[in-house]
C-alpha cells in the first residue's frame, strides 16, 4: 500500500518536473519534488527503505529526464540512505528539519551524481556554473520539502493505519 502511494507520487512528481518545473528556474537551479519524497521515506522508515525507494525513484527520474540511466539512481540511493541515518535521532516536529534536510540532501545528491558522471567519463558543466545551479536547486528544494514532508508523513501514517486495520 505504502509503496503504491510512493510510486504514484513519484510518477506525478516526475511529470510535473518535466512539464512545468524546468521552466521555473531559480538562480539557475530547478526544483526537484522527488528528492523530498526520498528524504521523507528515509526519515520515516530508515536507511534500508530510503535507499531502495531512492533507487527506484532515481531510476524513474533517469528514464523520464533523458539523463544516462544510473546517475539519478546513484544519487537517490545515497540521498535515501543518508536521510535514513536520521530516522531515530531527529525530531520530526522541528520546523527546520525538512527545509534544511531538503537543501543538504540536494547538495549530496548533486555531488554523487557529478562524481558518478566523472567516473564514467561524461563531460560536465564548469564547476562554478554547477555550484550555482546546485545552490539554486538546494534553496528551491528546501522550500518545497516542507509541505511535501508534512503531507507525505500524514499520508504515510494513514496508509500504515489502513494496513494494520485490514490485518486486525
Partner 1 sequence: MFPSPALVRRRLLIWSLLCILALVILTAQMHSPDGRRIGWLGTAVEAVLAPPAVALARVSGVFTGAWGFITEIGTLRTANQRLTGEVARLREENARLRPDAQENARLRALLGFKQQLPYRSLAARVVGRDPSQWFSTVLVDRGASEGVQRDDPVITSDGVVGHVVEAVGSAARVLLVADPRSAVSVVLDRSREVGVAVGQGQTLLKVTYLSRDADVRPGDLVLTSGLGPIYPRGLPVGTVVSVSRTTMFQEAVIRPTSDLGHLEDVLIVLRGGAR
Residue numbers at the binding site for partner 1 (CB under 8 A): 11, 14-24, 28-30, 32, 46-48, 51-52, 55, 58-60, 63-74, 77-78, 81, 84, 88-89, 113-114, 116-117, 119-126, 129-130, 133, 137
Give the residue with the Cβ less far from partner 1, 8 or 162: 8
Q: CB–CB of 144/137 below 8 Å?
A: no
Q: CB–CB of 30/139 below 8 Å?
A: no
Which is it for the CA torsion 16, 9, 90, 88, positive or negative?
negative
For the bound state, the minimum distance from the C-beta of residue 78 to partner 1, rounded and expressed in Å, comes to 7
For residues 1-12, one letter each, b for 16 or more C-beta atoms within 10 angstroms of the residue's C-beta and e for the rest, the string is ebeeebeebbee
For the bound state, the minimum distance from the C-beta of residue 116 to partner 1, rounded and expressed in Å, comes to 6
Give the residue with the Cβ less far from partner 1, 4 or 95: 4
Amino acid at each position: 500500500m505504502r509503496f503504491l502511494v510512493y510510486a504514484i507520487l513519484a510518477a506525478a512528481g516526475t511529470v510535473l518536473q518535466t512539464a512545468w518545473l524546468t521552466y521555473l528556474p531559480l538562480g539557475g537551479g530547478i526544483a526537484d519534488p522527488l528528492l523530498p519524497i526520498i528524504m521523507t521515506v528515509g526519515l520515516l522508515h530508515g536507511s534500508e527503505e530510503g535507499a531502495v525507494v531512492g533507487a527506484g525513484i532515481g531510476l524513474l527520474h533517469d528514464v523520464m529526464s533523458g539523463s544516462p540511466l544510473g546517475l539519478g539512481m546513484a544519487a537517490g540511493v545515497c540521498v535515501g540512505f543518508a536521510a535514513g541515518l536520521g530516522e531515530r535521532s531527529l525530531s520530526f516536529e522541528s520546523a527546520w528539519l525538512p527545509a534544511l534536510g531538503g537543501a543538504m540532501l540536494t547538495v549530496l545528491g548533486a555531488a554523487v551524481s557529478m562524481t558518478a558522471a566523472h567516473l564514467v567519463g561524461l563531460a560536465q558543466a564548469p564547476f562554478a556554473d554547477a555550484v550555482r545551479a546546485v545552490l539554486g536547486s538546494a534553496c528551491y528544494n528546501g522550500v518545497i520539502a516542507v509541505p511535501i514532508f508534512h503531507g507525505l508523513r500524514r499520508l504515510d501514517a494513514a496508509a500504515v493505519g489502513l494496513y494494520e486495520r485490514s490485518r486486525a
